[in-house]
Structure 1
Amino acid sequence: MRTPFLAVALLAAPLAAQTAHNSNAPIDFGADHIELQDKANRGVLSGNVSVRQAEMTLNSARMTVSYTGQVVGGSPQVSRIDASGGVTVRRPDQTAKSQYAIYDLNRRVITMLGAVTLTQGGNTVNGGRLTINLDTGRAVVDGNSVRGSSGAAPGSTTTTAPSGRVTGTFSVPKRD
């Protein structure tokens, strides 16, 4: 029997009790290498990539930063960041890990795919896909993003159950 989507969304809600993220804040980055592809309106960052915006950081092995081509105040306007390879998103009191992530700055949504783990305090939720709405702070975790796939490379360890279910642990307050 599959867990109803609504129940999963409600269980994940305590993990996402955060204030809205300032997606208009500047984006600072660091990487071992950057390749600017001006005609394609993108930059490819690789090697220990770290991006910070307000109180949120995004780390991975590689990121492609897409921009609109418009320049405001001397800076190109970033519209999307695609990250791959050991992706970690950290927000105050919350950490999410996956294999891939897409940060859509226009929609203010981060989608993480492949062996996703969301941790806040003693609570942990594992699944195949995580969607974080940065305006509302709401996080929704569901099973495998690709039906019949664990979302992990063959031979690797995954935190997602093979059935495509969402799994996890919620901490319980100590009672006398």
Structure 2
Amino acid sequence: MSRLAAAPALLLLLAAPLAAQTRHDTSAPIDFGADHIELQDRANRAVLSGNVKVRQGEMTLTAQRMTVAYTGQVINGNPQVSRLDAAGGVTVTRPDQTARSQFAVYDLNRRVITMLGSVRLTQGGNTINGGRLTINLDTGRAIIDGSSVAGGGSGSAGNVTQAPNGRVTGTFSVPKRN
């Protein structure tokens, strides 16, 4: 087999450790902190700004701004959070894994985090860069590609930087051999 033909198979083999994670407890309470919070009850949302930090189980999400959407349903005195939209220096940290981007959406109903814009996923000595990262919190599977949402819109995804040439790049560590 030529080196070029073997490259995709090698890439999949080397990328496997980046996706290997323990299952995240998506039913764990969500703790948060921010410099400022604005409750918008009629819109069923809260806007957190300034050094926002959200923690659920062993996962931490930080950003400069976050919108927390919740349903009108209240269980045991707590509104049910359905989605977190984060912007500005977003970092998601899980045991042995860190992902950074410009924007992120955590869909609690689907248990999926989608990160957009200058994405960097690191685990140990391995690093992968791209435009969009999707993490399934049930399976621990992480998919990264070079595409991203086009910038310029007035929504939260405006001015998203696409990965260079729409490609995924990275570095994999190689174990020392005797």
Percent identical among aligned pairs is 75
Matches within 5 A, 1:109-120: 109-120=112-123
**Residue range with higher mean Cα deviation, 13-22 or 102-111:** 13-22
Q: What stretches of structure 1 of length at least 5 have no aligned partner?
A: 153-157
Distance 1:25 1:148, change over 3 A: closer
Do 1:36 and 1:44's aligned partners in 2 also have CA atoms closer than 8 Å?
A: yes
Question: Given the alignment of the two structures, is residue 33 of structure 1 paired with residue 36 of structure 2, yes or no?
Answer: yes
TM-score by length of 2: 0.86
**Deviations, residues 115-159 of structure 1 (Å, cap 9, x unaligned):** 00000000000000000000000000000214699943xxxxx8x
Tell me which of 15, 18, 22 is aligned to 1:15. Answer: 18
Distance 1:20 1:147, change over 3 A: same
Do 2:83 and 2:108's aligned partners in 1 also have CA atoms closer than 8 Å?
A: yes
Tell me which of 59, 71, 92 is aligned to 1:89. Answer: 92
Q: CA RMSD in A?
A: 2.4
TM-score by length of 1: 0.87
Q: If each structure's helix is expressed as a fraction of its own residues, which one has the higher value? A: 2
Matches within 5 A, 1:17-166: 17-146=20-149, 151-152=160-161, 160=163, 162-166=164-168
Match of 1:170 in 2: 172
Number of residues of Structure 1 aligned to a counterpart in Structure 2: 166
1:85 partner SS: strand
Give 1:56 shift.
0.2
**Deviations, residues 22-72 of structure 1 (Å, cap 9, x unaligned):** 000000000000000000000000000000000000000000000011000
Do 1:46 and 1:62's aligned partners in 2 also have CA atoms closer than 8 Å?
A: yes
Q: What stretches of structure 2 of length at least 5 have no aligned partner?
A: 1-7, 153-158
